[in-house]
Amino acid sequence: MTRTTTSGGAATVGDNSPLGLYRSMLRIRLIEEAIAERYAEQEMRCPVHLSIGQEAVAVGVCAELRRTDKVVSTHRCHAHYLAKGGDLKAMMAEIYGKAAGCCGGRGGSMHLFDDDVGMLLSLPIVASCMPIAVGAALALRQEGTDGVAATFFGDGSIEEGVFHESMNFAALHRLPVLFVLENNLYSCYTGLADRQPDRPLADLAKAHAMAAETADGNDLEAVRAATARAVARGRAGEGPTLLVFDTYRWREHCGPNYDNDIGYRTEAEFQGWKAGCPVERTAAALRAAGLLDEALEAALRRELGAEVAEAFDFARNAPFPAADSVKDHVYG
Amino acid sequence: MADTRLMNVAAALREATDLCMARDPRVFVMGEGVADPKAIFGTTAGLLERYGRDRVMEMPIAENGFTGVAIGAALLGRRPLIIHQRVDFALLALEQLVNNAAKTRYVSNGRHRVPLVVRMIVGRGWGQGPAHSQSLDALFAMIPGLKLVLPTTAREAKGQLIAAIEDDDPVMMIEHRWVHYATGHVPEGYYTVPLDGPRRVREGGDVTIVATSYMLLEALRAADTLAQAGVQADVIDMAVPRPFRPQLVVDSVRRTGRLLCIDTGFRLFGIGAELVASVAEQALGSLAKPPVRLGLPDHPTPSTRALLTDFYPTALSIIDAAAELADVPVERIAGPREALAVELSKLPMDVPHPTFRGPF
Ligand SMILES: Cc1ncc(C[n+]2csc(CCOP(=O)(O)OP(=O)(O)O)c2C)c(N)n1
Ligand SMILES: [Mg+2]
């Protein structure tokens, strides 16, 4: 991804032109499809939680962040990491368990981070990410910056007590936190209706006197607009915002396959969401604006395909970490 | 053995739960995934259809909260069974377990009881990494008021779970997922295996090997090889570390003079430490050699298999430690050890079972 060259700390994460953001979404899609395709080779020996179908949230939110703003993610972190500008080769090497992985192979796909671009941490324990982001926001403020911290999490995560503890704390201290709730309707194989009473999710913020917005999570511009307002509030010292983005995970909760046949959701439901594919919607908008045609699309796919292939080659051929390094870094 | 069937531990646990629910209407199941299509690795399969949503309760992701709910219900005489797909997720519920489940009988001066069972699964393998594969048995074992059971064989797992559900005190059951695949003959019907300490699984006079859970399977494999070299191991399953009853171990060491402990957790501050201390306290003079503990080294569990080659004890490391304890010359054990090493090297080291394909 090309980075804009505006001055140091204020630089956006990537190219925020319409085509640049489409490219970012398509890139995430192609990377995750490649993971899905190659997972059966049994060389990526760790769990993978794909975000295929949820790309607009990751890209739309990160588009409004600076490189120096912080992001804390969950088990489903690939798209967030990539949208924030995380290094693709380091991600693929991590998933392949290699020394060049962002965690040196120690974390696997659920622990992606890239300090150079503000991708602070990803954590595989549900909701564990939220207070970490609040703490990052606290530090940013203590340092005297106007930086913000965003934490991504799913609809299941808001069932944990720490969600409320984090919102209460952030609201009390008016901390610049974006609580980004990706509502994909499921926690593993259990639908929302079996886990929560029916109420608008954004109302949860009201209990903590916090701002909240709900938007179509598959609409890139809607995600951007809501995020931009939340970021402005955060930078202005007006406190945290809960952003609720409705979206849908296309593949199984964990792993490369489709699972509409196992009984917890229907093929028809999936097809409905697939018809509103966020990547395709963004492409359609570009085409309508005369910014994308078949030739450009093909060129983009060729270019991205080459990058993805190169990253996989790199990861597959990279060396494993040396066995005697296993004891390093338990303490400083 | 007409009344037994061959089944694995996962199926045996499912059967135990089914029998308890059929027999006692107060028994109900709570957990994330208990009513979903994967049914906690099959261990709750079919229960939803049979007993309905009121007794097979899918939980919001709120471990500490629903553990408290279970304790509250247990105080009124209900018998909840909580299931966590990973030990690591149960960490969020430590507050309720340690402060309330473990102490309520005591603090109420014996008036209250908490008939709660919590099943937790150790997720070793397939790159699960630092926060999805932890064996924290010792963490639960150190709390007075909690019972702890670590099943290994299918027959016993079934009887232990039934005993746990019948028990009026809170019982933690930690299942190593590699044990879920272990098959054995399981009797039909309702029976219990008492939660009353260790038991001998193999008789021998040369070295005492105490193991738990999956490490018991490794230890038994090691014992076979040791026997080929003329070393007879006394193998003890520390299946119930709590209540802590080390007598069988102490008595065994009085005969063998040699003690080797292996469990699935960290070597330091582990179950082995408690056993070694008990033997030192009660039978120091019987020890012919310093006792040996095997366990995980002093660092978190990395995801990549490249860093796991020496992480977990194996039948081979058990053989080596036992042979040294029993003063067996290397030449005597080398042949059978090598044969086993060749056998083991045919299997990938990061999967619970040859059929396993990931991703979770
Ligand atoms: C504390 C805790 N409990 C349970 C789990 C197992 N788990 C992993 S992901 C997940 C579902 C999370 O659902 P959601 O927050 O909606 O995120 P999604 O997977 O849909 O992106 C669960 C229950 C966990 N990792 N941590
Ligand atoms: Mg979800």
Residue A184 CA to ligand 2 center (angstroms) comes to: 5
pLDDT at A4: 38
Tell me the pLDDT tens digit for each residue of B216-258. 999 999 999 999 999 999 999 999 999 999 999 999 999 999 9
How far B179 CA sits from the closest chain A CA (Å)? 20
Q: What total of structural domains would you count in chain B?
A: 2
The interface residues of chain A toward chain B in range 92-111, judged by CB-CB distance below 8 A, are 97-98, 101, 103, 105-108, 110-111
Domain boundary among B135, B154, B185: B185
One domain for residues B226 and B342: yes
Tokens linked to A138 = 């606290």
- In chain A, DSSP assigns E strands to 70-73, 119-122, 149-154, 177-183, 186-187, 190-191, 211-216, 241-246
Tokens 């300090």 correspond to what residue? Answer: A115
Distance CA A201, CA A182 (A): 11
What pLDDT tens digit does each residue of chain B (360 aa) get? 558 999 999 999 999 999 999 999 999 999 999 999 999 999 999 999 999 999 999 999 999 999 999 999 999 999 999 999 999 999 999 999 999 999 999 999 999 999 999 999 999 999 999 999 999 999 999 999 999 999 999 999 999 999 999 999 999 999 999 999 999 999 999 999 999 999 999 999 999 999 999 999 999 999 999 999 999 999 999 999 999 999 999 999 999 999 999 999 999 999 999 999 999 999 999 999 999 999 999 999 999 999 999 999 999 999 999 999 999 999 999 999 999 999 999 989 899 998 999 999
One domain for residues B204 and B180: no
B357 touches chain A (CB under 8 A): yes
What is the spatial order of strands in the sheet that B147-149 belongs to?
B56-58, B27-31, B79-84, B117-122, B171-176, B147-149
Residues with CB under 6 A from ligand 1: A 75-76, 124-126, 153-157, 184, 186-188, 249, 253; B 32, 61, 63, 89, 92
B109 touches chain A (CB under 8 A): no
A163 chain-B contacts, CB cut-off 8 A: none
Quick one: average pLDDT of A300-328?
Answer: 98
* In-domain check, residue B335: yes
Output b/e per residue, A299-312; b: 16+ Cβ within 10 A: ebeeebeebbeebb
Phi, psi of A243 (to 5 degrees): -110, 120
Quick one: average pLDDT of A182-189?
Answer: 98
Q: Which domain holds residue B75?
A: 2-185
Beta strands A177-183 and A241-246 are parallel
One domain for residues B178 and B225: no
Distances (CA, A) of A30 to A23, A35, A45, B55, B140: 10, 9, 20, 43, 45
One domain for residues B243 and B128: no
B166 assigned to active site: no
- Phi-psi group of A151: left, alpha or beta (phi > 0 → left; psi -120 to 50 → alpha; rest → beta): beta
Sign of CA dihedral B306, B311, B314, B316: positive
* In-domain check, residue B63: yes
Residue A56 near residue A247 (C-beta atoms within 8 A): yes
**Does residue B359 have a cis peptide bond before it, meaning omega lies within 30 degrees of 0?**
yes
pLDDT at A3: 39
The interface residues of chain A toward chain B in range 283-302, judged by CB-CB distance below 8 A, are none
One domain for residues B138 and B233: no
User: What are the residues whose beta carbons fall under 8 Å from the beta carbon of A19, sequence distance 6 or more?
Assistant: A286, A291, A292, A296
Beta strands B117-122 and B79-84 are parallel
Is the full-model pTM beyond 0.95?
Answer: yes
B42 touches chain A (CB under 8 A): no
Residue A88 CA to ligand 1 center (angstroms) comes to: 24
One domain for residues B166 and B19: yes
Amino acid (1-letter code) at residue B87: V
Looking up residue B325, the CATH number of its domain turns out to be 3.40.50.920
Active-site annotation holder among B15, B32, B63, B218 = B63
Residue of B nearest to A107 (CA): B303
Tell me the pLDDT tens digit for each residue of A222-264. 999 999 999 999 999 999 999 999 999 999 999 999 999 999 9
Residue among B30, B89, B128 whose CB has most ligand 1 atoms within 8 A, to mutate: B89
Residue B190 near residue B153 (C-beta atoms within 8 A): no
Looking up residue B17, the CATH number of its domain turns out to be 3.40.50.970
Percentage of chain A exceeding pLDDT 90: 96
* In-domain check, residue B346: yes
Tokens 């109302």 correspond to what residue? Answer: A203
Residue B33 near residue A189 (C-beta atoms within 8 A): yes
User: Does the pLDDT of residue A271 top 80, yes or no?
Assistant: yes
* B314 secondary structure, DSSP code: -
Tally A–B CB contacts below 8 A: 140
Q: pLDDT class for A10, splitting at 50, 70, 90? A: low
Residue A17 CA to ligand 2 center (angstroms) comes to: 30
pLDDT at A6: 32
Interchain pair B302, A106: CB under 8 A: yes
Could you give the dihedral angle defined by the CA atoms of residues A200, A204, A209 and A212, in that order, rounded to the nearest 10 degrees?
-50
One domain for residues B250 and B112: no
B37 chain-A contacts, CB cut-off 8 A: 189, 262-264
Residue of A nearest to B357 (CA): A42
pLDDT at A134: 98
Tokens 């709120």 correspond to what residue? Answer: B62
Tell me the pLDDT tens digit for each residue of A62-71. 999 999 999 9
pLDDT at B2: 58
Going by C-alpha positions, the residue among A188, A212, A187, A216 that lies closest to residue A201 is A212
* In-domain check, residue B193: no
DSSP per-residue letters across B206-252: SEEEEE-HHHHHHHHHHHHHHHHTT--EEEEE----BS--THHHHHH
Residue A170 near residue A137 (C-beta atoms within 8 A): yes
* In-domain check, residue B191: no
Q: Whose CA is nearest to atom 7 of ligand 1?
A: A126
Residue B86 CA to ligand 1 center (angstroms) comes to: 12
Active-site annotation holder among B84, B132, B176, B180 = B132
Distance CA B347, CA A215 (A): 50
Amino acid (1-letter code) at residue B36: D
Q: Is B18 exposed, middle or buried (0-12, 13-18, 19+ CB in 10 A)?
A: middle
Residue A183 near residue A217 (C-beta atoms within 8 A): yes
Domain boundary among B126, B157, B185: B185
Q: What is the CATH number of domain A18-316?
A: 3.40.50.970
Quick one: average pLDDT of A122-132?
Answer: 98
Domain boundary among B150, B185, B220: B185
Which sequence spans correspond to the domains of chain A? 18-316
Quick one: average pLDDT of A103-123?
Answer: 98
Tokens linked to B334 = 């080398």
pLDDT at A306: 98
A196 touches chain B (CB under 8 A): yes
B63 assigned to active site: yes
User: Does the pLDDT of residue A9 top 70, yes or no?
Assistant: no
Quick one: average pLDDT of A48-53?
Answer: 98
The per-residue pLDDT of chain B, averaged, comes to 97
